[in-house]
Each structure stands twice: as C-alpha cells, then as structure tokens.
Amino acid sequence: MPDDASSKMQQDAPSKTLYLPDSRYSVGPFAAITAIVREIFQYRSHALTLFSNDFKASYRGTTFGVLWNFILPLVPISVYLLLVNIRVFPAYDGMEPALFLGFNVMFWYFITGLVLRPIDVVKSKAASSMKTSLPLSVAISSSFAQLCFDGLVRLGLVVALVLVFRDWPNPNFLGLIFTLLVSLTFCLSAGLIFSIFNMAYSDTQRLVGIFLQYGLFLSGVIFPMSSMGRISILEVWNPFAVFVGASRDYLFVGSYAHPEALGVWGFVSLVMFITGVRFFYTMEQRVRGLT
C-alpha cells in the first residue's frame, strides 16, 4: 500500500492510502526509490523556487550582488592556488600542482556536499516541513541545485587552469562515469543515512564535519597519497581517496592504479544506496515536526 505526502491529488480511480504507526516499514528499496523520484518530480517547481530563493537570499543586500555567488565557491580553491604559487606544495606526479589541487578540491567539495547538505537540510527544515507539507526530499534536491551551481563555478576554474597550463586531459570516459556514479551514490547514501540519525543523535553532524575535515588531508586531496608515508595505505581503504584519485586519473591520465578498490567501493555504494534511500523514505515522515 503506498504512502504518500500529506496533500495529494491523483487523476486515477480512487486509491487507498493508509496511515499507520508502522507506515512505510514494509516498503521495499525499489518502491522507496520510485516514491522519492515521484515526489521530487511532483514538487519540481517547488525545488526550483526554493533554489532560486536561496540563491537570491545569499547575496541580497550586498554591494557586489550576484558576484558573491561566483566568488565564494572559488575561495577554498584560491587559497590552495595561492599556496601553490608561493611553492608550499611539492610538484605532483606529472601534473601541474595548481591543476592537481584545483581538480581535487573541486571534486572533494562536490562529493562531500552530498553528505553534508542532506544533514543540514533535514535539521533545518524538519520542523517546517510538517506545516508546509513539502517532502524533505524536495528541500534536499533544491540544496543539491545550489551544490551543482557551486560545482560548475569551480569546474570553470579548473577548465581555465587546464587552458593556462596546457595540461590536456586524456579521459577514459567509461572509468570516469563509473567513478562518478560510485562517488555520487556513496556520498548521497551516506548523507541520507546521517541526516536521519542526526535527528536522533545530534552529535552526528559534528562528528561527520570533523571526519570530513580530517578527510580533506587524508584522502589525497591536498597531498598525493603516495607522499604520505604510512598513511598511504588509505589509498584503497579510504573511499574518498579512491573516488578523488580515480576521478582525477581517469580524467587526466586515462587509467587508475586501483580499479579493484573502485569495484569494491562500487559494490559498497550500491548496498548503501539501496539501504539508505529506503531508510530515508521510511523515516522521513517520522522526523517531520522535530527540531
């Protein structure tokens, strides 16, 4: 029996909807995925409006206006580029340091955004979602639109660096697409799972934040894993190191040194995705109204 959002209309013959204390517990993973996709499609105009509101609100009242939305995403990368220019970092395996860092930081902020944004959104919108009847999945999608915008701005800078340094990519599209799929499903699933647990255990958000701050340095984003001594063992055990390394190497080198590790993490991502989406869908109604 399907469970739907509070206010809903369908043009079909009368359907039955049950609201029970254990609603959605018996929903399977594929039904949950379909239901969430349907929700997002139904409320896509809301998601776009929310994105547009948040986009405008972020620069409202400032002197530079919309320019801030292009400047701020570039700040993290520009800090590292500055450090490269004053030669704080060594030369990297065959790549321009600026490009190495630019790409890694762009990719890192994109995939970790998929973890952090659902946690933020569920925390901030759970209370109001009960009143607005807007599914939390819609608010999360709208925040992903902002994440995509930031990612595109950073990608623009990476393209500029490629042009400046003439360090042309040698892409392996199959590997790159697979890596992107694995990274996105892994991070999205983690984000959905943590977003719900954060409502029960408020420490979750802080712990994830700390973990990712360390992760920036332990995932080969700033320093190549090969230069990190004993920590280099994380090259295959740390999924973020695998995702960052594989995406960069499949784009610029055309091959990745640890495809088996990527395969294993791909399997883990699939399991997490199936579990995470179902878990989020089951619990979404239960966190509404909570602060």
Partner 1 sequence: MSVNSETQDVVLSVQQVGKLYSRRPSDVRRRLSAAAWRAFLNLKAPAITNKRDREFWAVSNVSFELRRGEAVGIIGLNGSGKTTTLRMLAGQILPDAGRIELTGTSAAMIDLTAGFQRSASGYENIFLRAAALGLNRDQTRQHLDEIVEFCELGSALEAPLVSYSSGMQMRLAFSIMAIVSPDVLLIDEVLAVGDFRFRQKCLGKIREMRARSAFVLVSHSMGDIRNFCDRVLVMHKGNVYFQGEPDEAIRVYEELDADTPSQTPDQKLIAAMGPTFTNDSALELVEHEWVDEHMNVVEQVQFDQAFALRVRLQSNIDLPSITIGIPVWNMNAQYVTGLSTQIQSDAFSLKAGSPSEFLLKVEPGMINPGTIKSMLTVLSGAEFFYRVPNPDLVIGPTGHPTWGAITIPHNWIKLH
Binding site for partner 1 (CB under 8 A): 3-11, 14-23, 25-26, 42-46, 49-50, 53, 56, 130-134, 193, 196-197, 199-201, 275, 278-279, 282-283, 285-291
Q: How far apart are CA 273 and CA 252, in angstroms?
A: 28
CB of 255 to partner 1, least distance (A): 37
Using the minimum distance from each CB to partner 1, give the nearer residue, 32 or 101.
32
- What does the chain come to in residues? 291
Using the minimum distance from each CB to partner 1, give the nearer residue, 195 or 247.
195
Non-local (6+) Cβ contacts of 277 within 8 A are 29, 32, 33, 36, 189, 192
Q: How far apart are CA 90 and CA 84, in angstroms?
A: 8
CB of 122 to partner 1, least distance (A): 12
**Runs of H (alpha helix) within 21-72:** 29-42, 44-57, 67-71
CB of 56 to partner 1, least distance (A): 8
Using the minimum distance from each CB to partner 1, give the nearer residue, 51 or 178.
51
Would you tell me the crossing angle of helices 259-287 and 173-200 to the nearest 10 degrees? 30
Residue with tokens 């640890």: 258
Task: Supply φ then ψ for residue 92, to 5 degrees.
Answer: -100, 160
Using the minimum distance from each CB to partner 1, give the nearer residue, 55 or 165.
55
CB of 46 to partner 1, least distance (A): 6
CB of 91 to partner 1, least distance (A): 45
Using the minimum distance from each CB to partner 1, give the nearer residue, 131 or 230.
131
Using the minimum distance from each CB to partner 1, give the nearer residue, 16 or 166.
16
Nearest to 52 by CA among 42, 63, 44, 64: 44
Q: How far apart are CA 91 and CA 112, in angstroms?
A: 26
Residue with tokens 């990612």: 151
CB of 18 to partner 1, least distance (A): 6
Q: How far apart are CA 274 and CA 267, in angstroms?
A: 11
Non-local (6+) Cβ contacts of 281 within 8 A are 24, 27, 32, 35, 36
Using the minimum distance from each CB to partner 1, give the nearer residue, 6 or 213.
6
CB of 191 to partner 1, least distance (A): 15
